[in-house]
Amino acid sequence: MSTPDVNDSKAEFLGAITCSVTHEIQNVLAIIKENSGLMEDFILMNPNGSVPGLEKKLAACIDKIKKQAYRGVGLTSELNSFAHGPDKTTTSINIVELIKKLVAVSERFFKLKGIDILLTVPDQRHSITTDPVLFQMIIFSCINCLIEIFKSKTMLIDFQAHQELPCVRLSMENAGMEPQVAASQIIQTDGWKNIQHLCRKTNMNITPQKQTTGIRIFFSSLQ
């Protein structure tokens, strides 16, 4: 199977994430609209103070509106940052912060698949020079690749040094199969071929691990 054009893949990836985030923003606005309507109804029903517990009902609506407003601000902020990814095709990136942003904007995408992503944030900074969009595409594709193979509902992402280079480790908790069997299944998937293609474009190395519980994938910059 031929590998897709990188620019086409970028556009598809950016579109998928943007659609996911805007859908969440629509949910935020729907909840705000619903609670605003409830407040209006309560007030209309209470011309003579006849609705018991009106203050508590209104306070509950206001609390939900506040929470959703903050959530909406967070979503639009993350989406704005994500949208600036293509500004530079090669730049120095903090891989921890970039993956945090990716997990934030893709949360709904994986929640719909029943997957929780747990991110361990290290104290030290891990930086490489690469294409930020392609790097996020690699992480996103790896998560999808692992989800397709394993029964686990929890994805673990952590960071470490590998041969003095920063690397990202992804693993499925309680993967349900032997590591060597899992590794052999991964490298046979079309998703893995596409991941390798993206890694070659970004001058990175990726390897499925055969010695650990579950499966772990290491990335290390070769620049």
Residue 65 is predicted with a pLDDT of 92
Q: How confident is the model at residue 140 (pLDDT cuts 50, 70, 90)?
A: very high
- Angle, vertex CA 31, rays to CA 27 and CA 36, nearest 5: 145
User: Given a cut of 70, is residue 49 above it in pLDDT?
Assistant: no
d(CA 75, CA 149): 30
Task: Name residues whose C-beta falls within 8 Å of residue 36's C-beta, 6 or more positions apart in sequence.
Answer: 61, 65
Contact 176, 215 (CB under 8 A): no
Q: What is the pLDDT of residues 54-113, one digit of tens each?
A: 888 888 999 999 999 998 898 888 888 888 777 777 888 888 888 988 998 888 888 888
User: Phi, psi (5° rounding) for residue 91?
Assistant: -160, 165
CA 105 to chain centroid, in Å, comes to 5
- Which residues, listed in sequence order, are joined to residue 118 by a DSSP beta bridge? 156
Strands 91-94, 127-130: pairing kind: antiparallel
In the predicted model, is pLDDT for residue 223 greater than 50? no
Q: What pLDDT does residue 163 have?
A: 61
Check residue 9 and give its pLDDT: 83
Amino acid present at 205: N
Task: Encode the chain in three state secondary structure.
Answer: CCCCCHHHHHHHHHHHHHHHHHHHHHHHHHHHHHHHHHHHHHHHCCCCCCCCCHHHHHHHHHHHHHHHHHHHHHHHHHHHHHHCHHHCCCEEEEHHHHHHHHHHHCHHHHHCCCCEEEECCCCCCCEEEECHHHHHHHHHHHHHHHHHHCCCCEEEEEEEEECCEEEEEEEECCCCCCHHHHHHHHCCCHHHHHHHHHHHHCCEEEEECCCCCCCEEEEEECC
- Please write the tens of the pLDDT for every residue from 2-40: 556 777 788 888 888 888 888 889 999 999 999 999 888
| Cα–Cα distance for residue pair 75/165, rounded to 1 Å | 32
- Structure pTM? 0.79
CB 63 within 8 A of CB 36: no
State the chain's mean pLDDT as an integer: 81
